[in-house]
Amino acid sequence: MHFTTLIAAITTIGAIAVTANPVPAAAPAPVPRPPQSTCIWCQEQVDKCNAISGLTMKGSGPTYVACMTTLFSTCKGCTEPAPKNERGYVPGQCGVHITQYQKPVPGVDPYTFDAGIDDYAAIPIGEIKGLATFEPFQVTSLLPWTLVITPGHLDSDPIRFSYADQHWDSNSAQCKFGGYENGNREGDCGFQC
């Protein structure tokens, strides 16, 4: 679930809480945003509420209302945008999405890549498209260091990644890559940013 869906859920929770417990109107105090880890936990709990009740985000019924109401006090600050740092991105666990296109003529042509970096709030902060190369390449972004991606020589070779002092490849636990399908393979990896 994305933050926009979570925001809709929290708004629904607020409406339920206000309807269930009407209070004389007063100027609402600003609600500070909880830590990002709390908001991710809230997303997971909203998914569980939906699964328990078998309903969508527009759900109703006593099971859904009870489940969502219990989350209101903890999660209501998650409707605020995640705080960005001085470089303009939300730090934490960033992600890179890669599409690797097979070589048109194996042994002759290079691989072609699309790569995009998202910050901790899943906001795009860097991208490269249609780069054909045999060599390692850099993806620039709002991050303080560049992400370096190194292609393998064969379709079965893993793609290697480096960011600051972190090094991993597409076979690592922090990545999920599919096999080649229709001439390309796609995958996602997480890294600390």
Confidence at residue 37, expressed as pLDDT on a 0 to 100 scale: 65
Residue 157 lies in a domain: yes
Confidence at residue 18, expressed as pLDDT on a 0 to 100 scale: 43
> Number of C-alpha atoms within 13 angstroms, CB side, residue 12?
22
Do 118 and 154 share a domain, yes or no?
yes
Mean pLDDT value of segment 8-23: 48
Tell me the average pLDDT of the chain. 78
Residue 84 lies in a domain: no
Number of domains present in the structure of the chain: 2
Which residues span the domain enclosing 59? Answer: 3-79
Confidence at residue 28, expressed as pLDDT on a 0 to 100 scale: 46
- Is pLDDT of 15 > 90? no
**Choice among 15-24, 102-111, 142-151 with the minimum mean pLDDT:** 15-24
- Domain final residue pick, 79, 105, 128: 79
Find out whether 137 and 148 touch, Cβ atoms under 8 Å: yes
- pTM over the 0.85 mark: no
Do 75 and 98 share a domain, yes or no?
no
Confidence at residue 111, expressed as pLDDT on a 0 to 100 scale: 95
Do 104 and 70 share a domain, yes or no?
no
Confidence at residue 161, expressed as pLDDT on a 0 to 100 scale: 97
* DSSP state string for 63-123: HHHHHHHHHHHHHGGGGSPPPP-TTSS--SEEEEEEEEEPPSSTTTSPEEEEEEEE-TTS-
